[in-house]
Amino acid sequence: MNIAGMSITEIRELIEKLDDIPKDFLECLRKDTRKGVMALTRQLQARQERQARLTAMWDEMSRTELMLYAQGKRHLFGIDEVGRGPLAGPVVAAAVCLPPDFRLLGLNDSKKLPPDVREAYYDVIMRDALAVGIGMVDAPRIDEINILEATREAMRQAVEAAGITPDVCLIDAVHVPGLACEQLPIIGGDGKSVSIAAASVIAKVTRDRLMAEYARIYPEYGFEKHAGYATEEHLQALERFGPTPIHRLTFGRVKERA
């Protein structure tokens, strides 16, 4: 391929159109000594390296799913929760069943994704998943049964809300009594399984949006910023205004300010 007669703008536009860069094209770019082309070559190489890293990460995070598909399993539920640690708001769990051909490079533990990326991935997962269920347990119920049991209850709700029967539930670290299917707890699962990572994204975006709604009801607390976690701003608001109906009264930092 001869690019000597092409302008830098034309080369940039061609690169943007190509999904896969032919080796001969890349070799021509490397030989071109124009500074603008050299800069484009560095950008292209960085893009390819990032793509390779994301592909390798996806392959690694899909290993459990591929193993289970090979065993004849079909409906694999990834289950994860968000909100065990905050002082206010519900614990939210999501159950997500992805199709076998689902692919979303960059999907990871929701805490490791920027908010705008989480929102974009949320839309893709909601659009393409075979099933999504969400479970939610509020602060009074958390106070009644403790946060671990509330987490399990939210997970059971999420599985039931998904509307299809799972063959296997891949769960981030927790065993959930009462699920009528095989369970596979995976420690750190939201960074090791694409199904659990997808559930992590759905649960976090759902809870963050809910806490933003609570921020409009209780504007003094800044819930839209910290989602109920024990930040200095939140603790100062608790000190000044006391707990709201969505605070967990059995949690020590709330109890001592009640």
The torsion of the CA quartet 108, 246, 153, 73, rounded to 10 degrees, works out to -20
Residue 2 structure tokens: 């001869």
Give residue 45's pLDDT: 84
Structural domains of the chain, ranges and CATH numbers in brackets? 11-60 (no CATH), 63-208 (3.30.420.10)
Over the chain (258 residues), the average pLDDT of each successive run of 10 is: 76 76 78 84 82 93 97 96 97 98 96 96 98 98 98 97 96 91 93 96 98 97 96 95 96 87
Give residue 1's pLDDT: 60
Q: 6 exposed, middle or buried (CB, 10 Å; 0-12, 13-18, 19+)?
A: middle
- Amino acid making up residue 48: Q
Q: Which long-range contacts (CB under 8 A, 24 or more apart) does 149-157 make?
A: 150/91, 151/81, 151/84, 151/91, 151/93, 152/176, 152/177, 152/178, 154/81, 154/90, 154/91, 154/92, 154/93, 155/79, 155/81, 155/93, 155/95, 155/179, 157/93, 157/133
134 and 93 in contact (C-beta within 8 Å)? yes
Give residue 7's pLDDT: 83
pLDDT, tens digit, for every residue of 209-248? Answer: 999 999 999 999 999 999 999 999 999 999 999 999 999 9
Give residue 195's pLDDT: 97
Find the length of the chain. 258
183: left (phi over 0), alpha (psi -120 to 50) or beta: beta
